[in-house]
């Protein structure tokens, strides 16, 4: 479990049905490739893959071959073959791994270890963890720039975002953003990082060139817990989840670059993770309390029929070809594999 300072906040960490919320941003790499094997393996109804204890983060490598799963209770990251669904040997990392990111070349996976105050780089070719990188207190979410040069870490109890130089694996000076920063999302051009600042009910833009925080985008009574930017870079989606009356249980589109919130999309209770299909037509939202994932038509803003998954879904990842959705079910200790149209 997380320490008392994180657990006592209005946002912050959660396990099971606790009255806290989680922000896990699924990082989706868009690359070309051949997907006949993947399509055959994932055709038909949703299936499940058994993984470690309390899976809370997912990421797929840019070549679409491997899914990585962060298992909080085991302090490991598990590789899973996309083609066969077979889990590989768990990789030991720090305490309470809570977020994942991958470099654009697919050579390195980064793991945010919430209780170790570190980020662990993992060599994809060897499956070996490298030397942990010290960051601020309670690293919560990760975001990799499109050029692969900088990894950003939200430090929940530091009130800042820490940049990491990927070439040297060294942490830079923390960027103050406000109390309890959670989710992170980068624009496709890599120029702007958006930070969900839960305690202040706002989203803070950070200029990547200067690492300076800009004017916050106020969200009213909403407690932001998840963020994702559409592939065209025109819209930032912000999810608010939790236990009433702390949140409106909605997803708000924010028009970029001006940061203008639009009409919120009502969703089921406790929407914790967001992911956009690479084609940019569908937004996927976890309903942690209802054990479903809701697809939203991004052109109309309308929710479609929910997809039943496992108990307490906390994270999402879409393969680069957009044909498969992975959902981490924290209480079932498995991952649901959902074939997409």
What pLDDT is attached to residue 180? Answer: 93
CA 214 to chain centre: 22
Pairing assessment for the beta strands 97-102 and 91-92 based on DSSP bridges: unpaired
What tokens were used for 242? Answer: 């939790």
Supply the pLDDT for residue 341. 86
- The string of DSSP letters for 60-120 reads E-TTS-EEEEEETTTTEEEEEETTT--B---EE-SSSEEEEEE-TTSSEEEEEETTTTEEE
> Is residue 125 helix, strand or coil?
coil
Does the global pTM surpass 0.95?
no
How far apart are the C-alpha atoms of 97 and 113, rounded to whole Å?
A: 4
The sign one gets for the Cα dihedral 318, 132, 71, 183 is negative
DSSP label at 38? Answer: H
How high is the pLDDT of residue 56?
Answer: 95
Long-range contacts: 240-249, Cβ < 8 Å, 24+? Answer: 240/271, 241/21, 241/269, 241/270, 241/271, 241/272, 241/288, 242/10, 242/11, 242/19, 242/20, 242/21, 242/270, 243/19, 243/269, 243/270, 244/269, 246/10, 247/21, 247/221, 247/222, 247/223, 248/221, 248/222
Closest Cα to residue 26, out of 341, 338, 320, 330? 320
Strand, coil or helix: 1: coil
Residues in the chain: 341
First to last CA, the chain: 38
So what's the pLDDT on residue 248? Answer: 62
Look at residue 25 in the predicted model and tell me its pLDDT. Answer: 34
Please give the helix or strand (H or E) that residue 283 lies within, else none.
strand 282-287
Tell me the torsion sign for CA atoms 73, 51, 79, 165. negative
> Which residue do the tokens 């896990």 mark?
24
- For each of the chain's 341 residues, which pLDDT tens digit applies? 333 334 333 344 554 322 222 333 333 333 222 222 233 333 468 999 999 999 999 999 999 999 999 999 999 999 999 999 999 999 999 999 999 999 999 999 999 999 999 999 999 999 999 999 999 999 999 999 999 999 999 999 999 999 999 999 999 999 999 999 999 999 999 999 999 998 888 999 999 999 999 999 998 777 888 999 999 999 999 988 644 444 567 899 999 999 999 988 888 767 789 999 999 999 999 988 889 999 999 999 998 999 999 999 999 999 999 999 999 999 999 999 999 98
Q: What pLDDT is recorded for position 241?
A: 60
SS3 286: strand
Cα–Cα distance measured from residue 112 to residue 252, given in angstroms and rounded to the nearest whole number: 27
Report the CATH fold assignment for 4-213+308-339: Methylamine Dehydrogenase; Chain H (2.130.10)
The pLDDT value given to residue 13: 54
pLDDT for the residue numbered 39 = 31
Please tell me whether residue 321 adopts helix, strand or coil conformation.
coil
Break the chain into its structural domains and give their ranges.
4-213+308-339
CA 83, distance to chain mean position in Å, is 23
Look up residue 114 and give its two tokens: 């919430």
């Amino acid at each position: 479990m997380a320490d008392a300072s994180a657990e006592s906040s209005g946002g912050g960490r959660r396990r099971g049905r606790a009255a806290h919320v989680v922000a896990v941003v699924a990082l989706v790499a868009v690359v070309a490739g051949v997907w006949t094997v993947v399509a055959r393996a994932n055709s038909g109804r949703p299936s499940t893959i058994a993984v470690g204890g309390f899976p809370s983060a997912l990421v797929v490598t840019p070549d679409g071959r491997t899914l990585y799963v962060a298992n909080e209770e085991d302090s490991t990251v598990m590789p899973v073959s996309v083609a066969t669904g077979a889990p590989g040997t768990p990789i030991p990392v720090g305490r309470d791994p809570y977020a994942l990111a991958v470099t654009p070349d697919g050579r390195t996976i980064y793991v945010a270890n919430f209780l170790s105050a570190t980020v662990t780089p993992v060599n994809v070719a060897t499956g070996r963890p490298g030397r942990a990188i010290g960051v601020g207190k309670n690293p919560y979410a990760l975001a990799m720039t499109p050029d692969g040069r900088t990894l950003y870490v939200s430090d929940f109890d530091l009130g800042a975002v820490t940049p990491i130089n990927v070439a040297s694996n060294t942490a830079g000076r923390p960027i103050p953003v406000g109390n309890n920063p959670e989710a992170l999302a980068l624009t496709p051009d890599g120029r702007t990082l958006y930070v969900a600042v839960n305690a202040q009910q706002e989203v803070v833009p950070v200029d990547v060139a200067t690492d300076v925080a800009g004017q916050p985008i106020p969200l009213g009574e909403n407690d932001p817990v998840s963020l994702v930017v559409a592939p065209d870079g025109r819209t930032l989606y912000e999810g608010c989840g939790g236990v009433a009356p702390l949140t409106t249980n909605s997803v708000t589109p924010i028009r970029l670059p001006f940061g203008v919130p639009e009409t919120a999309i009502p969703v089921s209770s406790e929407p914790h993770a967001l992911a956009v299909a690479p084609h940019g037509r569908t937004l996927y939202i976890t309903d942690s309390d209802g054990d479903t994932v809701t697809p939203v038509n991004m052109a109309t803003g309308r929710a479609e029929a929910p997809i039943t998954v496992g108990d307490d879904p906390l994270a999402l990842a879409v393969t680069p070809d957009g044909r498969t959705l992975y959902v981490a079910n924290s209480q079932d200790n498995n991952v649901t594999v959902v074939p997409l149209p």
